[in-house]
Amino acid sequence: MIFPLFAFLFETPIAALLAAAGAVAIPVVIHLLRRFRRQIVDLPTIRFLLEAKKVQEKRWRIEQWLLLVLRCLMVFLLASACAAAMPWAEPYWRNLFPEMRGQRIAGVSRVHTILVLDASLSMLAQKDGKSAFEKAKQNADRFVQACNPGDAISLVQMSFPPKIIINEAAEDFDKVREEISAIAPTHGCADLPGTLALVDAILQRSPPRFKDRKVLFVSDLQKSSWLSNGAGPVNALFSKMRTKATLGVLDVGVEIPSNLAITNLEIDGQIAGVSSETRFIAKLQAFGDKPQSRVKVRLLAGKIAQGSDSISLAQVLEESVDMQASSQATVLLKYKFKEPGDYAVQMQLDQDNLAVDDSCRVIVRVSKELNILLVNGRYSVRELER
């Protein structure tokens, strides 16, 4: 610990260098002042010992010089240790040891941050060619890079069901960035109460070496995820978490005035054949406060070739439908297959800002004929005689 009385000696790199030089000079000055000055008196009785004495003096000088170097090195290391604890020395340590983790900056408390990344369907909404999910991952990556050495991060994916990506307090920021890059969006809503329960569990296990704790939500704040889960349980969880950590929200949402989605596609009946038309029923859902007129609904179909991974779809039907604001509609399209086999059938709308819900696909097996076994029996009250 550097006492405030001497802290000014290490405020800047130049001041620290001068302080180290002054400290090293102290042993040198003491060495020079304590040099043994002798008065030479020639005595005939000891002239035969002069040669042996010269050898001993030479060895004595070498030992004194080594002792002086050790004293100077000890004082220099002590001054360097004091300077290394100053904030201006942190960049030099990080450049010298890039793999160094867990070394806190002087005067800055260590923080354990729980990063919650929204991966629900609405995060795929795009604006100017970039989705909200891409923005969320970029902002999360920048946040990790801005963290101080000694901080730690846990990572939670907000989805249905929610998932803990990094459970421990990870101080390896490269690992955290890799995990953020690997997260993929899901095709569903987010379970906010379940996510908050996982975050609260991580907070309870947070190591005591961290003085501060934070929870950062990176989300588009979609209404279906944040307001449809019941205010009571969610508010209780938020109130509980507020006593343990600082809460923050980063809004990366894309403004979408209206959205039209295909919520379901099914066959009217269980069997599709080549002798009659197959009826496909699609359910549409309009979101927003603006009506949409003459919405084009297209039916695409393509036969699945055996042993092939790709499917070529071609448009076979098209119909227009009018949608009122925040309404639902059912669309019925009929198509007659020409030959039997396995087909991919897709109902598709014009692409909007949320393209992932503009289409829905089913796999249909078309049969040429249906074999039926008829058993000619008679009714009986006894089960074994029926």
The CB density around residue 23, as the number of other CB atoms within 10 Å, is: 19
Chain center to CA of 89: 30
CA–CA dist 330, 264 (Å, integer): 10
Among 4-8, 126-130, 150-154, 352-356, the range scoring the smallest mean pLDDT is: 4-8
Q: What pLDDT does residue 1 have? A: 40
Q: CATH for 111-251, among 3.30.930.20, 3.40.50.410, 3.40.1500.10, 3.90.180.10?
A: 3.40.50.410
CA geometry: angle 97, 98, 100, nearest 5 deg = 70
Res. 269 pLDDT band, cuts 50 70 90: confident
- The arithmetic mean of pLDDT across residues 45-63, rounded, is 64
Tens-place pLDDT, residues 162-201: 999 999 999 899 999 999 999 999 988 889 999 999 999 9
DSSP class of residue 214? E
- Sign of the four-CA dihedral 181, 187, 193, 194: negative
Q: What pLDDT does residue 246 have? A: 94
Res. 251 pLDDT band, cuts 50 70 90: very high
CA–CA dist 314, 302 (Å, integer): 6
**Secondary structure, 3-state, 80-105:** HHHHHCCHHHHHHHHHHCCCCCCCCC
Asked if pLDDT for residue 274 goes beyond 60, the answer is yes
Among 19-23, 99-103, 127-131, 135-139, the range scoring the smallest mean pLDDT is: 99-103
- Bond from prior residue into 87 cis (ω within 30 degrees of 0): no
Residue 250: name the closest of 130, 141, 112 by CA: 141
| Secondary structure of residue 382 in the 3-state scheme | coil
Q: Give the relative orientation of helices 231-242 and 192-204 as an angle to the nearest 10 degrees.
A: 20
Asked if pLDDT for residue 2 goes beyond 70, the answer is no
CA–CA dist 12, 20 (Å, integer): 12
Comparison of pLDDT for 64 and 3, the residue scoring more: 64
Residue linked to tokens 């709308």: 349
**Mean pLDDT over the full length of the chain:** 81
Tens-place pLDDT, residues 68-124: 778 778 877 777 777 666 656 666 665 666 555 445 555 567 899 999 999 998 898
Q: What pLDDT does residue 111 have? A: 93
Residue 271: name the closest of 372, 361, 347 by CA: 372
Asked if pLDDT for residue 130 goes beyond 60, the answer is yes
Q: Which CATH architecture has domain 258-367?
A: Sandwich (2.60)
DSSP class of residue 287? E
- The arithmetic mean of pLDDT across residues 326-351, rounded, is 91
CA–CA dist 32, 28 (Å, integer): 6
Chain center to CA of 251: 16
Among 50-59, 130-139, 340-349, the range scoring the smallest mean pLDDT is: 50-59
Q: Is 276 left (phi over 0), alpha (psi -120 to 50) or beta?
A: beta
CA–CA dist 226, 230 (Å, integer): 9
Residues, the chain, total? Answer: 386
Among 28-37, 70-79, 325-334, the range scoring the smallest mean pLDDT is: 28-37
Indicate the pairing of strand 152-158 with strand 111-118: parallel
HSE (side-chain half, CA atoms, 13 Å) at 272: 23
- The arithmetic mean of pLDDT across residues 259-268, rounded, is 89
Q: What pLDDT does residue 68 have? A: 75
Judge contact between 348 and 251, C-beta under 8 A.
no
Asked if pLDDT for residue 17 goes beyond 50, the answer is yes
Among 111-120, 124-133, 322-331, 364-373, the range scoring the smallest mean pLDDT is: 364-373
Among 143-152, 229-238, 315-324, 349-358, the range scoring the smallest mean pLDDT is: 229-238
Q: What pLDDT does residue 48 have? A: 55
| Secondary structure of residue 33 in the 3-state scheme | helix
Question: How is the chain split among helix, strand and coil, in percent rounded to 5?
Answer: 35, 30, 35
Diameter of the chain measured on Cα atoms: 150
Asked if pLDDT for residue 5 goes beyond 60, the answer is no
- The residues that bridge with 217 in the sheet, in sequence order, are 116, 249
Dig out the tokens for 47 from the structure: 């002239």
Tens-place pLDDT, residues 281-314: 999 998 888 888 888 999 999 999 887 777 889 9
Domain segments of the chain as ranges: 4-92, 111-251, 258-367
Q: What pLDDT does residue 247 have? A: 94
- Sign of the four-CA dihedral 68, 71, 74, 75: negative
HSE (side-chain half, CA atoms, 13 Å) at 120: 25
Asked if pLDDT for residue 3 goes beyond 70, the answer is no
Asked if pLDDT for residue 47 goes beyond 60, the answer is no
Comparison of pLDDT for 39 and 263, the residue scoring more: 263
Asked if pLDDT for residue 363 goes beyond 80, the answer is yes
DSSP class of residue 378? -
Dig out the tokens for 350 from the structure: 């014009």
Judge contact between 139 and 218, C-beta under 8 A.
yes
